[in-house]
Each structure stands twice: as C-alpha cells, then as structure tokens.
Structure 1
C-alpha cells in the first residue's frame, strides 16, 4: 500500500531528524508497528510477513561488493518481509560479503553463496565484449546454480537502488499468465533499434528489447520448459552471425524472447528506470515519486545526463552513506530467524549488570561491529621464501593523512583496519581514489570496521587488521609512526637471521618521536643518533610515559651492532614483529589505555623472547590528541573502569598461565 509506505518512510525521516540515531530508530519502529496494525489488522499483517522473498545477484570483485551493499541497504530500508539473498560470487566477493552479513546480523535475512568458478564452464564458450566480462553472462545459469526447489527469484544487477518495498515487485509474479516465465522492463535506450551509429548491428530483440538489470525469474517453469537447452541453442545460432555478445546476458535473453514472445511478462518501466546515456527514461515517469527502481547502468554511473539526475544522485547517496546499524531492526510479526551468533550476543547482553559502573565498557567488549573486508582493490602474490611481512595498523578518519607517508616508507604488504561510519567510509574511498600514491598501491588491504557504541574498540579493530594479514609474519605498529626507509627488507633478513620460523621471538623496533610537523627524515642510524643528540628527535614518550619503552634500553641500542634480548617489565609496550599466529589483542580494552600493554604481557606469558633490532627504528609523527585520551584524562569514571579491567585481565592471565603469571600481578602492585 503506497500511502502506508509513504507514511512509514516520512515517519522514520521525521524522527531521524529530531532525535539521535538510536532513539530515532526505536521511535520510528514503534510508529511503524502501530501504523501497520491500524492499517492491516493483526491477522492480515502476520500473513503478509510470512512471505519469504528471494533475491539473486551475481557479484564479483571488490567494486561490485561495495555496490551490492548500497543495493542491499535500499532493499532493507523499505522491506517488511523476510528476505533470502542468493549471491553468485568469486572468491573475493564471497569473503567480503560472508564476513559483512555475519557481522551485520540483520534479523529475518538469510544469505547463501554459490561459487561462480563452478559456473564458468557453462558460459565461458560465449565470446563477450561487455565490460562485466564472464560474470555478465552468469544470470543465464541461475536455474542450474540456485537450489532446485526454489521456484521464483528476483534477479538484480549490483548498480540498482530501490525506492520502494521489494514485496511490490515480488507480487507481480501473481500477474504472470500460465505461460509466462520471465518478467522484464523494456529497454529505454535505442540500442536494439540498431540506429546509434553507422553499421551498428545489435542482436535480435522484440521491438526496443528488454533490459536485464531487474528480472523476475519463474525458475520452476523455466526448468520445466528446458531453459538451459533453449538459451544455449539460441546463443549458438546467433553467434554464427554475431560472433560475440556486446551486452552479455542481455543479448541472449533478448534473442530468446524474440523467438518466444509469449514467455515474457513486460513489467511497468518504473521497475527499472535506466540512467545510461541515450535512454528515454524520462518518458517512463511523470513524477519522480512514481519511481520504484533506479538503475545506474552506465559505465559513467552518477555522471549521466538526466533532468532529474540530482534527485537520483541524492537518493543513491542517501543509501550509500546510510548507517547500516539502523537496518538491524526487527520485523514486527515476523518470527525472527535468529542466528546462533545473535542468540549468543543476546544472552551475553542479558548477563550484564546494568547497574555496574563499568557497564558501558563491558557492553563494548561483546558488541558485534559490521566489518567490510577489502573495501578497495587488493592484490598480493606471496613470496617464495616464506619471510614476507605485513605492516599491521588501525586508524580512524582523523589519521587518514598518514597513509600516503606510510606507503612511501614501507613497500611491503599492509593490512589496515579503519574505524569509520558509513558516510566516512565513502569519504575515505574518494580520498583514496584521488591519491596517486594510494591508487598505485594494490598490496594494501583496507578493512572497514563500522562505528557503533561510544568507545573506540581499538583492540577489536587491531584484530581485524591482524587476522587479514596474508603473510607468515606481521609488524604490529600504529598509523602515526613512520618506519625507517628500507625497514621492510631489513626485517625480512632479520627473520631469517634469527630463525623466527622455528623459535618464539618478538622483534622490537625501537621507537622515537619528533615534535616537529616537518621533519627531515633520517636516512640512517648514524643520522638518527645525531638528531637525537641535537634534540630534534627524542626516544618515544620519554617525557610523559618513560615506562612504555624504557626496557628497549636505548643506551645499549646506540652502540649495538647485533640483536640483543631484553626482559619484560610492567607497562612495556614496544612495537614488534611476530609470526602471524601470535595471540590476538584483548578486546576488553577500548579507547585509551593498556591496549598494547596487555598484548605484550600475553606474548611474554607465552614465552616469546623480546629481541631488540640494532639497525631498525621508527619515528612517531605529531598530531592532535585523540578524543579517547581526552576522555581518559578528564573522567575519573573512565580511569576507575580501566583499573578494574586491568585487575580482571590479571586474574584471567593467572587462570590461563598458572603460577608463571604471578609476576605480572606483583609488578603491577609494585608500581
């Protein structure tokens, strides 16, 4: 019901403007529920909700994985039904989307994945000139790829935005005649009319032909009529004269429909308003409010010409930057098919004591953040000698300017976790695409951890970066440090020299700092020592937190020519190189304080030797203090909770490592 849908959407937007995100979400949910109850009555509402809607997408690579998230958000925003997404993916998209949906935990949403590699042989024989490559042909294989008991599915391109409830589109299946098996919108460009340029010869089509960005596929009926054989025969016949497809699956679908017009159900054009150049999309609607699906089917995407393009852009950008956490809302009247993860989370939350002074800290530890791995293109080829090493770090929006410098100082692979909102992630994308330095580096994995809660979950974010390093060794650092030039090669040699493959070692890279924003970076240890003597450089945090790095023994390092072992001391938090299978960071520590200290303590508890490298160094660059350190300094409650968490960490360490862990408690009490 359109009026009801508009009331719901405007109610949500009204509340969202007036209140904070969480409150807005809850109030809007209440308004939706009472509105629906008034409108439909309880029994009819529950009947509506039982319908599970199936949606299929072919999604390959990093860019398509980003696009499909915006599509999914637009569907989730309007939907009132449970959904089942079916993704035909390559390895990259599978890893990205499976992690995203697992961590998103949207109620009443199921997700299934199908291996595109297994389907390649079905379509690889078809020569295809379209920029989507072999994946552009895979919609032809859906009767085979999807479960044999699935009777109907909506098939969507990744460059689609919904402006209405997808259930309205699903309902059109009921309007199919007995013979109709496929629902499509007419093509809004003149492509199939064959008059775009001299000697332009398109594939055969019925009239203007059909666009395959939005398809209703009646799978059950397609299987019955022998679809797999029919489309193959059509393709083979046409390829004899056409030699290749220009528009991938669309050409074959159209040639098939030309031969079998009775099988197609023409959908109203507002179900696929095509915004490519040379389209007649503006003749498809009188009011923009009539639109239901917008299709950005030009390689130029948002830069197409259309008198309403600003309206379309804003609608698209709304979902692009929309806070995905708000889509975790329950569907009223729909028995939630809670995953085991969300049930575990719910149980853990119920066990927390809301009167506990440190409730917010404890809640933060068990919160599940949405994670989008490999947000940008990533390519890495492993080295043959098994000594490769990834620089691992985390950052938020205010440290973005450090990225280019780090890339210039470290040529090896990098794994970065970025703590950002949906809108900030888009700003980061634009920044990275505009930077020559970042554009040219394909061996940097950028993983977005989406913001939620009131603390910076620093160790959770670090763990995301650590878990997604692909090399046998990792250099655990912070984004505001610049490694010395050549550190990557020096560390790889040290890994061999110190036999790290067969021993438990953590190699310490001594840390220094400058208070100057413009620094002539030292090219050697000798140059660094002279800058230290002149007072242009200092040992890291010597004037505010000496204990953090004192055990590195800088006096010994000045003259050292061989690696030397140091002993753990309380509050030691050096930056280290370890094997990738090292312990992860303890996620109870959020915001400022003890996040690295606890990690080094656990390395020591596991009997890693701490070895300082004599010819390695890194320099901390100055920046404004973080929001979390300001909170720590100004809030007694924050400091009290940090002390409480430390005590609990010590107890857990004792339980885990027995009497050997007593030294940590003793050291803490002696401070």
Structure 2
C-alpha cells in the first residue's frame, strides 16, 4: 500500500504512471533516503498502452471493474434520508399503478424502465453543410450486428447516428473492435450512443429514439443496421430533398427495400443491375415470402419503370424505410422486442399527413443473418403475440384521442384484418 503521506504529482503528459518522493520518509533518517513510489492511473484510453512491469496487474483490475454491470452503482448503499427526486417519485407511482396480475405486466413495466445512456461513446466530429440539406443515417443495433458497421460506412459517406444496446462488458468489446478497425477509426462523423442493457426485452424503439434525437442534420434516413444502402445514396437523397422541397412540405421519402439470401453478394452499382439480379433470382423484394404486407404498398412493379418520385397510400402494416425531417414523430416506446415497432411509426407519419413518396432511383439491400432472440420469442409464445395485439389496440386508441376523426381509419383497418 502507498503511504497516505505520499504526494501524487500532476501528470499533464499522460504517461500512465509517475514518480514521487515521500518527503516525510526523507526527513526520517531511517535508512531509506529515496523511497520512490510508482502510481498507475487510468484516466484515458491511452493508459492501456503503458509499458511497465506492474501494468498487467492494474490493467486487468481496471478492465474487471469496467466490465461489471454498471447498474450496481445505481443502488443506494446506505439508507440515509434525502430529498426525494421528483422523477423517481413519479416513476415509483407509475410502477405501483401497474396490475401485477395483468398478462402483459412485463411489457408495461418495460416501458417504465430507465436505462443508462452514454452519448457519444467515441470521438465525434461534424461540420454542418451550408445548404441545410444534410442527412444522417439513423439506426440501432446490438452486439450480434456489429459486423455490419464497416460495410455501412463504405456505402454511406454522410453522418451516421447509431444507438447500441449493450451490456457494460459488450461496450468495452465494442471499444476494442472500433479501435482495431481502420474503417471505423477513420470515420469521425459517426455518433455512437450506448444504451445499457436492463430488463428482459429489447427496447428497440427507445434505442431508435436515442439515435434519432442525437442526429445533427435537418433530415434523417431511418433505416436498420442490417441493410446496405446503394452506393451514392447519400448524394442522391440530398439532391432529392431540394427537388421535392422537403423544407416546406411534409414528405416521407421511401427507399425501396430488397434482400438477398447470399452472405456474399456482388452489390449492384445501378438500378439496371439490380433489376437484372432481381430477374435472375439473386435478389428479392424485401420479405415478399414471409411478410408481403410490410412493403407491398411500395409498388415494386411501378418502381421498375418509374423515372420520377410517385406517391403511395398508407396501408395496414406498411413499414418502409424513409427519409424525413429530423423533427418527425418519435417511435412509440411501448413496442419492445419484435413486432409492430416500425409499423406504428409510419402509421403516425400518415396520421400527421406526411406524403409517402417512393424514390425511383434509390434502393437498399437487406443482408442475411441469424434470427434475433426476440423474433424467436414472438414465434414460440402465444402470450407474447396476444400482448402485442393488446398493445396495438391501445396504440390505436391513443392515436384516435391524439388526432381525432382523422385516425379512425386505422381502427377500422385493424378490425378488418
């Protein structure tokens, strides 16, 4: 142990450790004239690269604490009386109002969970454009989709806002992954925001909202991390924003979605090349075989020959990927895990009278991956599916109260499905 009288000097050079002499020991003529202590501290990522014979012990100790569940630090260690936080009181009251016998109690409780969030986990640099047409790609992901980041950075040169749902240990793994990647290291216009894991469901819309609220551009491209945008989409969208007068109209630009079952794909460089791959069976319209309602209103048959943007009407369960103004509605956070999380958002865009405009020369391709844990729960649990239907009904009722008679069509459509 260090003597309590050892003075630790400032370390402005960031060397990782430094030397100090204990003047008290020097004054005591006890045979130790130059007692030297080396103090290792870890206040910067650079400290992990220090070379010192003791460093491995301290590095392992440091990483051990880093990878503990940070929620441990939210607990009150001592029951000292203190002035109650109004937000905590309100949250506790909301929790007490929940019916524990409700079949959907776990879903409702999840909506009240307060997550720790670390904004701008890595260095971020962004310079606004002079013409106010800039667009941020907005997405969320978990650890099992991390491999998509490098490819997305190669396909989209504009700013990106990503929310990552991770444990404390996974956040440290991501840090090491990002530091080791030449692609990610060289991209400073990507904002990484960590939402720390808590609860039993993936709070997908909460995580999306973190990414959306921290976009720094007038427009956002709302997508999923397992899609690769076509090359040049960033510039094409910026031109379209001007052409369609997005600054003064309420439009949602639909980017048609396709998919491949091949893990290795020669990515099409043009619409003509994509149509050729579509005809050969290398590509498909997205989810045509399992969930056609999700993207059928895009009208892929019309898109094949379209040369100008065309308007489509909202239909039940439509969930396209869109470009909108940053001040668009947020995602509804009652929807967690799998099911209806994007559908509800597009439905509210329609309720706010956004025109859905399909872009004739834009596309994105979904890359294959293993099914998520949440979709497995949805498929295997009838109570999960029943609760999702309950949440849908409640969402429709809330929408009717919010938008009045204009939202009645959604209730009608839901009942006729």
Both proteins in one fold, TM over 0.5: yes
Q: Does 1:627 align with 2:373?
A: yes
**Partner SS for 2:72:** helix
Deviations 1:332-365 (A, max 9, x none): 2311443222222111111111111111100111
Q: Which residue of 2 aligns with 1:314?
A: 60
Runs of at least 5 residues in structure 1 that lack an aligned partner in the other structure: 1-162, 173-183, 187-209, 214-244, 248-253, 255-264, 269-278, 283-292
**Partner SS for 2:10:** strand
- Cα RMSD of the aligned pairs, angstroms, is 2.4
CA contact (8 A) 1:298 1:304 kept: no
Q: Which residue of 1 aligns with 2:170?
A: 424
- Return the alpha-carbon distance in structure 1 between the equivalents of residues 84 and 23 of structure 2: 37
Q: Does 1:388 align with 2:138?
A: no
- Cα 1:627–1:529 shift into 2, 3 Å: same
CA contact (8 A) 1:480 1:621 kept: yes
Q: Which residue of 1 aligns with 2:81?
A: 335
- Return the alpha-carbon distance in structure 1 between the equivalents of residues 83 and 334 of structure 2: 29
Structure with higher RCO (Cα < 8 A, 6+ apart): 2
- Cα 1:297–1:531 shift into 2, 3 Å: closer
Q: How does 1:330-479 map to 2 (within 5 A)?
A: 330-479=76-225
CA contact (8 A) 2:41 2:47 kept: no
- Return the alpha-carbon distance in structure 1 between the equivalents of residues 24 and 351 of structure 2: 66
- Cα 1:294–1:337 shift into 2, 3 Å: farther
**Partner SS for 2:6:** strand
- Return the alpha-carbon distance in structure 1 between the equivalents of residues 44 and 401 of structure 2: 60
- Return the alpha-carbon distance in structure 2 between the equivalents of residues 299 and 595 of structure 1: 37
Q: How does 1:254-653 map to 2 (within 5 A)?
A: 280-281=36-37, 295-296=41-42, 301-653=47-399
CA contact (8 A) 2:120 2:191 kept: yes
Q: Does 1:665 align with 2:411?
A: yes
Number of equivalent positions = 403
CA contact (8 A) 1:185 1:211 kept: no
- Return the alpha-carbon distance in structure 2 between the equivalents of residues 385 and 302 of structure 1: 42
- Return the alpha-carbon distance in structure 1 between the equivalents of residues 44 and 202 of structure 2: 39
Q: How big is the shift at 1:308? A: 4.0
Q: Which residue of 1 aligns with 2:6?
A: 185
Taking structure 2 as the reference length, what is the TM-score of the superposition? 0.92
Deviations 1:609-636 (A, max 9, x none): 0000000000000000000000000111
- Return the alpha-carbon distance in structure 1 between the equivalents of residues 46 and 140 of structure 2: 33
- Return the alpha-carbon distance in structure 2 between the equivalents of residues 313 and 569 of structure 1: 56
Deviations 1:176-209 (A, max 9, x none): xxxxxxxx733xxxxxxxxxxxxxxxxxxxxxxx
**Partner SS for 1:500:** coil
- Cα 1:337–1:609 shift into 2, 3 Å: same
- Return the alpha-carbon distance in structure 1 between the equivalents of residues 300 and 366 of structure 2: 16
- Return the alpha-carbon distance in structure 1 between the equivalents of residues 47 and 303 of structure 2: 56
**Partner SS for 1:603:** helix
- Cα 1:664–1:331 shift into 2, 3 Å: same
- Cα 1:374–1:299 shift into 2, 3 Å: closer
- Cα 1:562–1:300 shift into 2, 3 Å: closer
Q: Which residue of 2 aligns with 1:226?
A: none
- Cα 1:487–1:353 shift into 2, 3 Å: same
- Return the alpha-carbon distance in structure 2 between the equivalents of residues 394 and 317 of structure 1: 26
- Cα 1:661–1:298 shift into 2, 3 Å: closer
Q: How big is the shift at 1:399? A: 0.2
- Cα 1:330–1:378 shift into 2, 3 Å: same
**Partner SS for 1:401:** helix
- Cα 1:574–1:423 shift into 2, 3 Å: same
Q: How does 1:63-82 map to 2 (within 5 A)?
A: none
Q: Which residue of 1 aligns with 2:10?
A: 212
Q: How big is the shift at 1:300? A: 5.1
**Partner SS for 2:9:** strand
CA contact (8 A) 1:330 1:336 kept: no
Taking structure 1 as the reference length, what is the TM-score of the superposition? 0.58
Deviations 1:86-124 (A, max 9, x none): xxxxxxxxxxxxxxxxxxxxxxxxxxxxxxxxxxxxxxx
Bigger radius of gyration, 1 or 2? 1
**Partner SS for 2:221:** strand
- Cα 1:323–1:338 shift into 2, 3 Å: farther
Q: Which residue of 1 aligns with 2:32?
A: none
CA contact (8 A) 1:476 1:577 kept: yes
Deviations 1:551-602 (A, max 9, x none): 0000000000000000000000000000000000000000000000000000
Q: How big is the shift at 1:298? A: 9.1
Q: How does 1:158-237 map to 2 (within 5 A)?
A: 185-186=6-7, 210-212=8-10
Deviations 1:469-496 (A, max 9, x none): 0000000000000000000000000000
The structure carrying a bigger helix percent of its residues is 1
Q: How big is the shift at 1:305? A: 4.6
Q: How big is the shift at 1:297? A: 7.5
**Partner SS for 1:185:** coil
CA contact (8 A) 1:509 1:618 kept: yes
